[in-house]
Structure 1
C-alpha cells in the first residue's frame, strides 16, 4: 500500500524563499507521518500570475536553485511539485530564454526523469490564454516542443516511475489545464493512459470561479471513467493580484476513483493536508480520514478569503467605509465585519441636504447592528464652496455652469478622495470603495469617487 500526502499550499506570488520554507515544512511533516510520496501544486515556488517577473533572468535562476533545494529535501521521501523550468540554450518566441511550466519529481535527493526523457521534468501540454491566463506569452508548451523536434506530443509525454517505499508507482503527472482538455485537439491524459500508468496526479493552480468545482467534477469524471484510472487533484490556495484583478485559489484537493467518482475533497480556502492510500493491484484510492464533498455555495467564503488575503498582503488591518444607508455600502460593511473585529472598522456617513432622515437613520442602524463606530461628516458646505468658486468662471466660448449631475459627482469625489482618504490615514488603515465591476462596465461609477479606495 502506497501512502500519499498532499498539501494545498498558499503560494506567495514571486516570493520563492517564503514558498521554499513552506515546502520544507511540508516535507518534514510528510516524512514524520511515514508518507511515501508528497504531492504539491503547480507553480508552488513562484506563484502564477506574476507577469514580467517571468522575464527577469535573476528570478529564473533563483527558481532553478530552489528546485534543486526541493530535490535535496527528498531524502527518504518522493516529492512531486509544479515549478518553472528553464532551458538557457533555447529561446521562447519572444527571443527570451526558454521557459516551461513544468512538473518535477525527486527522491533521495535526486531528480526523477520521465521515462525516456532527456529532461528532469515534464512540460505542460495545454497552455491557457483566456481570462487571467497569458501562458503562451511566457511559456513553451510540450506540443510546441514536440513540433520543434519533429515529433508528436505522444513521443515526448511520458510517465514517471516514482519510488514509494518497497514499491514503485507508475503515474501520469499532468498540470492543471492538461485535464481540462474537452476543447483541445489533443488529450494529455489519454496519451499517458495508453502508456500503462496506474494513477494520475494533477498539479494545479486553478483560480476560484463560480461553479468551477462542479464543472471539474463533471469533466474529470467523464475522462477517468473512460480511461479507468484514478486521480489525485492537488490545487493551491492564496491570492494573486495582477494589477487589475485579484484572484483567489481555493485548494479543494480531491480524489477520484477509477470509475470517475469523487471520493474525497478537502475543505476550500484552508491549509488542509490530506493523506491517501493507493493499492496498485486493484487501483483503489482511499482517504485516510473521511472527507465530505464541500457545499457548492462557495461565493461568500471566496469573498471572505480573498478580502482577508488582500488585507494581509498589503499589511492592513483597519478599514474605513463610507455608508450611505444604501444596500451596496451595507453589504460591503457586513463583509468586512465578518472578517475584522468591530473596533477595526470605521463607518462614515457624509450627508448633504439632499440626504433623507431615512437614509441617515439606516446608516446609524447598520453601525449599531455591526457594533462599529459611526462618524457623521456633513459635506454640503464643501460642495457649495467649491461650486461657488467655479460657477461663472470664463471658458473659451462660455462660462462655467455646474449642473446637478456634476455636483453629484463632486460629492462622490469629496467623500472618497478627501474625507475617507483623510480619515483612513488618521485611523491607520485603508478605505474601500462601494462600486463594483458590473457598474464600471456600464459607466455607473465616478472616477476618483465611487471607484476610489484600495480594493
Structure 2
C-alpha cells in the first residue's frame, strides 16, 4: 500500500492585532483537520498576528504578545494533527517573519523567511532580519519544505530545500490582490516545480486590511506545473488535500478547480471585501455618502449596498442652485434601485450664510474656484456632521483620475473615512457600472439588475459647481487623460514616451503638472482599495514638495 498524507489548508481571514481571535480561528481549522483525519493543518504567513503589521511589529510589547499567544496555542493542541502557522518571532535579538509547526503541545519546527520583499506595498527589509535557509521538517512520513511567500518567488530557497531532502513544498503566503496577480503567482510556482521536480502547495490568506485585500486562490501544482487543485478566490475555505507516494515521488491527488472570475468581477469583489473588512475591523457597521446623481457616487453606493446591505447605507443628496433636475432624478433612481435610504439636504442656505460671512474680506475680488470649492466644503461639513451624529462612516467617491490630477476639493468632497474606488480610473468606472448592471452573485447583498440607471452612465460628467459645467471643460477627455495617467503613474513613462505614443505634448505636460502639484491632497486623502500595482499610497511614495519636471 502506498503511503498517504492528508493536509488541511485553512484559507482564512485574520484580524490584525486580534491575537486571541486569530488563535481561535487557528484552533477551529485544527479541529476541522482533526475531524477529517488530517496529518497536518496549515495556515498562511503571519496569520496569528495578522498581516501586514507595518511598524506595529517593531513594538517589542506587540512581538512579546505574539510569541506568548503562539506558545499558548501550542500548549492547547494535543492528540491531533500538526498545525503550521505564521507569526513574528524574536531570536537572539533579531526579529523574524516566522512559520511555526506545532505538535502535541510543542513547537517542533520553525522556519524564518529568507527573502524579504522591499517593493510595491512591502517594506520588510526595515522590519525583519533575513533568516538562514532552513531544511525540511518531517511530519509523519513526509519531509516538507516551507519557503515563506517571497522565498518562493526566487529559486534559491526552494532549490536548497529540495537538495536537503524536501519531498513537497508548502508555501504560506500573505499575498495581496492586484489585477492579474494570480497569474504572476502561478507562473512563479510553475517555475519552482520545474526547477525542483517537487509538488508545490501555495496557501494564501483572504480578507481586507487597510488598503490591501488578500484574495486567497490557494492552489497545488504537481511536477511539471500541472494544476492539481484550486481553492476559491476571496472566499474563506478549509480544504482537505490528499497526497500519495508514487514511484516518482509524492503527488497531490486531484481536487476541485473552479473557474476564475474575470478581472471586473475580481476588482468589484476586492472593493466589496475591502470596504466590508475595513468597517468590520474598525468597528463600523453603517455608511453614508453624498449621492450626486453622477456615476462615481452611484458606483460607490452600489459597492456599499453589496458589501453591507442596502439597509446599512444612507445616501444624501445635497443640492445647490447649480444642481440640475436630472441629477436629482438620477440620485433618486440609484437609491430606489439599490433600496437605500435617500435624504435630501439642500446646501443653498448654508452656502449663502458662509458667502455673507466672507463678503467683507472678499470685497473687491471676483468669484472664482474659491466659491465653487465653498459648495463642496459645505457638503463635506454637513456629511461629517451626519457621520458624527449617527456613527456612520462617510465614504468618499473620487476615482483615480480625479485623485491623480487633484480634481477634488480637499476638506470637501475628499472628506471621509474610506474610498472604495480610489484606484479605479474613470474609464474603468464607466465599464464597472455596466458590468455591475449585467452581473449578480450570491455575495452581493443589493438587488440584481440595472441598479445604476443607464443615463447616469451615459451623461457627460459634471461637478455642477457652476452653470453648464462639464469635467472636460477643465480636463482632457477621460479616455485621453486616463491613458496619459496610466503611462505616467502606472508605467513610470517619461513625457517623451507618452508623446511618442501619440499624445499632444502640451496636454501631457499639463497632466504631469497637475499630478505633481496634487501630491499634498493625496497625502491627506482617505484610504481606499488597492486594485493595481501602482495605487496611490504605499505603491507610489512621492515627496509633497517637488520642483522637478520632466523636460522631455
Using structure 1 for the length normalisation, give the TM-score: 0.85
Contact 1:391 1:401 in 2 (8 A): no
Match of 1:306 in 2: 274
Task: Please give the per-residue CA displacement for 1:323-365, whole angstroms capped at 9, x wherever unaligned.
Answer: 1111111111111121233332221111111122112221122
Contact 1:85 1:102 in 2 (8 A): yes
Match of 2:478 in 1: none
Match of 1:81 in 2: 85
Task: Please give the per-residue CA displacement for 1:266-308, whole angstroms capped at 9, x wherever unaligned.
Answer: 1122221111111133421025x52424224311111111111
What CA distance in whole angstroms lies between the structure 2 residues aligned with 1:202 and 1:311? 30
What CA distance in whole angstroms lies between the structure 2 residues aligned with 1:400 and 1:36? 81
Task: Please give the per-residue CA displacement for 1:196-226, whole angstroms capped at 9, x wherever unaligned.
Answer: 3210000001111111001111221122123
1:260 counterpart = 2:229: no
What CA distance in whole angstroms lies between the structure 1 residues aligned with 2:78 and 2:170? 18
- Find the residue that maps to 2:146 and give its secondary structure: strand
Task: Please give the per-residue CA displacement for 1:212-267, whole angstroms capped at 9, x wherever unaligned.
Answer: 001111221122123221111111122222xxxx2111122211111212221111
* CA-CA distance at 1:391 after TM superposition: 2.3
Contact 1:390 1:400 in 2 (8 A): no
What CA distance in whole angstroms lies between the structure 2 residues aligned with 1:400 and 1:15? 58
Residue among 364, 378, 392 paired with 1:414: 378
Structure 1 gap segments, 5+ residues each: 91-97, 114-120, 147-155
1:270 counterpart = 2:235: yes
1:285 counterpart = 2:252: yes
- Find the residue that maps to 1:112 and give its secondary structure: strand
Q: Which has the higher strand share?
A: 1
Match of 1:108 in 2: 104
Match of 2:387 in 1: 424
- Find the residue that maps to 1:192 and give its secondary structure: helix
Residue among 189, 204, 209 paired with 2:173: 204
Contact 1:391 1:400 in 2 (8 A): no
Decide whether aligned partners of structure 1 residues 343 and 70 sit closer, same or farther in structure 2, where only a CA change above 3 A counts.
closer
- Find the residue that maps to 1:375 and give its secondary structure: strand
Match of 1:239 in 2: 208
- Find the residue that maps to 1:7 and give its secondary structure: strand
Task: State how 1:48-63 maps to structure 2 within 5 Å.
Answer: 48-63=51-66
Match of 1:149 in 2: none
Contact 1:126 1:178 in 2 (8 A): yes
Match of 1:123 in 2: 112
What CA distance in whole angstroms lies between the structure 2 residues aligned with 1:8 and 1:33? 16
What CA distance in whole angstroms lies between the structure 2 residues aligned with 1:428 and 1:107? 45
What CA distance in whole angstroms lies between the structure 1 residues aligned with 2:56 and 2:387? 32
Structure 2 gap segments, 5+ residues each: 419-552
What CA distance in whole angstroms lies between the structure 1 residues aligned with 2:364 and 2:345? 28
1:225 counterpart = 2:194: yes
* CA-CA distance at 1:402 after TM superposition: 5.7
- Find the residue that maps to 2:147 and give its secondary structure: strand
Aligned-CA RMSD value: 1.9
Residue among 25, 31, 49 paired with 1:28: 31
* CA-CA distance at 1:53 after TM superposition: 2.2
